[in-house]
Structure 1
Amino acid sequence: MSFNQSLGLVSLVVRDYDEALSFFVGKLGFTLVEDTPVPEQNKRWVVVKPRGSQGACLLLAQASTPRQAEDIGNQTGGRVFLFLYTDNFWQDYENYKGKGVEFIRSPENQAHGIVAVFKDLCGNSWDLIQPNNNNRSWQQ
């Protein structure tokens, strides 16, 4: 018996829901999928996704303990955390720069595509990448 699976959500710990929405929706142009209060847990269920994406969404999870707050901006120990694929690298790159997104590595052609690294509002590193035909994950 075969079952299909997909990655539905990736949780990103943030300082504040509204600050995170301002960055992801306002600067990166993500789509707000859901923003539902969860009063019994004193939190919100906030989900965004890159425009046009059919893949996993991002759950913006406001830190609710001091331990969670310690890891904001360092969810992968300094490595690139997420890889934002685009089919128009230069348009997105210029658009993001114009909106104040901080790029910490300039665009370069790599074996798997055009790549630049930016920081999100909390300091996590992201790859903005336009994959080429050598990038097997793009062809999935």
Structure 2
Amino acid sequence: MSGGGSRIALTAVLVAAYDEAIAWYRDKLGFTLVEDKRLEEAGKRWVVMGPQGAKGACVLLARADGPAQEAAVGRQAGGRVFLFLHTDDFWRDYDSMRARGVVFQEEPRHEDYGMVAVFADLYGNLWDLLQPA
């Protein structure tokens, strides 16, 4: 399966409700709704969002189904950073996200791998906003 034609296209993120998650990713992160299709299973949707002009992986917003999945909403990585949002202009995106109400967990910092700050999504999953070195 590995090779030049393979890539990770989607990462599923468990959410409590589709519409509130769509609104947060759109209004706070500036993501674009790529797909929103109703599925045959009652109440299920295929909801894909990604950064505007994204050429890489997007997120699949998957509504939690049942107690085990509901318990994992916001804790998919056990409290570690779960997703990494790369930027070509850290300060532009950091300032814009803060102005739109994104909650950062720390002050921005320089690391060997780039400029980074951790933020939480609407459910508490941790993300890195990262401008690679």
% identical equivalent positions: 50
Deviations 1:39-64 (A, max 9, x none): 33430100001112211110000111
Q: Please name the residue that 1:45 is paired with.
A: 46
Quick check: 1:77 aligned with 2:78?
yes
Match of 2:128 in 1: 127
Consecutive unaligned residues of structure 2, counting only runs of 5 or more, are none
1:52 and 1:89 map into 2 onto residues whose CA distance is 17
Q: CA RMSD in A?
A: 1.1
Q: Equivalent residue for 1:136?
A: none
Instruction: Determine helix, strand or coil for the equivalent of 1:94.
Output: helix
Tell me, in whole angstroms, the C-alpha distance in 1 between the residues paired with 2:25 and 2:41.
26
CA-to-partner distance for each residue in 1:61-97, whole Å, 9 max, x for gaps? Answer: 0111111000000001111000000001101101111
Number of aligned pairs? 131
Offset from partner CA, 1:96-138 (integer Å, 9 cap, x none): 1111111001101110110000000010000000001xxxxxx
Compute the displacement of 1:31 (Å). Answer: 1.0
Give ranges in structure 1 of 5+ residues lacking alignment. 133-140
3-state SS of 1:106 partner: coil
For residues 18-29 of structure 1, the aligned pairs below 5 Å read 18-29=19-30
Q: Which amino acid aligns with 1:16?
A: A
- In 2, distance between residues paired with 1:15 and 1:105? 25
Q: Which residue does the alignment assign to 1:117?
A: 118
Q: 1:3 to 1:93 in 2, by over 3 A?
A: closer
Q: Which SS does the other structure have where 1:39 is aligned?
A: coil
